[in-house]
Amino acid sequence: MDISTFRAHRHGGGSASEQHLSLAVLDMVGTTVTDGGRTERAMSLALAESGVEPGSARFEDMLAYTRETMGYSKMAVFSHLFEDPDTARNANKLFEQAYDELIAHGGIKPIPGAEETIAWMRDAGIKVCLATGFGRHTQNVVLESLGWMGLADLSLCPADAGRGRPYPDMILTAVLALDLDDVRNVAVVGDTSADVLSGLRAGASVVAGVLTGQHSEATLRTAGATAVVGSVKDLPALLEPRTP
């Protein structure tokens, strides 16, 4: 049996069904990458520079919303927080500028085992897509800072697909871009409920949560994760062939 054939328990229990895994869509910050909380710091700076008083009830409510929606398109988050489209776009620009400055001198690191797991997948014939809620520029800055350009088969941001998480667009775009036959042969992995929802909506057979990022095991399972593991380094054990 090829290593890219695995047994996956579908959401909701039931018997295991054999699937041929052809693609893994992996989230970035919180799943394959850690930034030491710089995403939230950049969000805070963007809100403050957009005229929201730090420490005010409005500021704290907005910051709480950004935590709840980690994994979403950052532009979608700001569009929810600010009614005026121009203010939302400017806040997103301020976020990207702040984030670039925060990571310019380091702070972005691979989650331990991430590079090895991606190499394991590609050696097994499983294509890998790195997906994010950041804009393309910010995603490229992160990839370049890690030396990860070319590490995966594909990288996608919301603008590449039309909509970001929790919509399924990035996953479906990856399936089309890589000329794959069946979305059921996809594994989606992330640290937030948005990652889980996007995987379920796309029809992926494996939608796994990891505990190295924003959301708890309870939150991930409530969202519908088919599996929850400690870290991306645990994925080979989850996906490798099982003896019937």
Tens-digit pLDDT profile for residues 185-201: 999 999 999 999 999 99
* Mean of per-residue pLDDT scores for the chain: 89
What was the pLDDT predicted at 19?
A: 60
Q: Is the pLDDT of residue 44 over 90?
A: yes
| Dihedral sign, Cα of residue 156, residue 207, residue 215, residue 195 | positive
Tell me the C-alpha distance between 92 and 90, whole Å. Answer: 5
- φ, ψ for residue 64 (rounded to 5)? -60, -40
Q: Is pLDDT of 1 > 60?
A: no
- What is the Cβ-side half-sphere exposure of residue 242, based on CA atoms within 13 angstroms? 12
Structurally, at CATH architecture level, domain 5-35+110-239 sits in 3-Layer(aba) Sandwich (3.40)
The pLDDT of residue 70: 86
**What pLDDT sits at residue 132?**
94
What is the mean predicted confidence (pLDDT) over 41-69? 95
pLDDT of residue 95: 93
The single-letter code of the amino acid at 240 is E
Q: Phi-psi region for residue 144, left (φ > 0), alpha (ψ -120 to 50) or beta? A: alpha
The answer on pLDDT for 55 being more than 70 is: yes
- Domain residues of the chain, as ranges? 5-35+110-239, 38-103
Please choose, from the candidates 75, 78, 79, 71, the residue with its C-alpha nearest in 3D space to the C-alpha of residue 199.
71
Instruction: To the nearest 10°, report the CA torsion of 184, 167, 135, 180.
Output: 20
Find the mean pLDDT for residues 132-152: 92
Residue 13's CB is within 10 A of a number of other CB atoms, namely: 7
The pLDDT score that the predictor gives to residue 68 is 87
The average pLDDT across 4-23 equals: 52
Q: Judge contact between 215 and 191, C-beta under 8 A.
A: yes
The pLDDT of residue 16: 33
CA-closest candidate to residue 24, choices 167, 164, 177, 130: 130
- Angle, vertex CA 41, rays to CA 39 and CA 42, nearest 5: 65
Instruction: Name 184's Cβ contacts closer than 8 Å, sequence gap at least 6.
Output: 19, 203, 204, 205
Cβ atoms of 186 and 202 within 8 Å: the answer is: yes
Region 230-244: mean pLDDT is: 80
pTM of the full predicted structure? 0.86
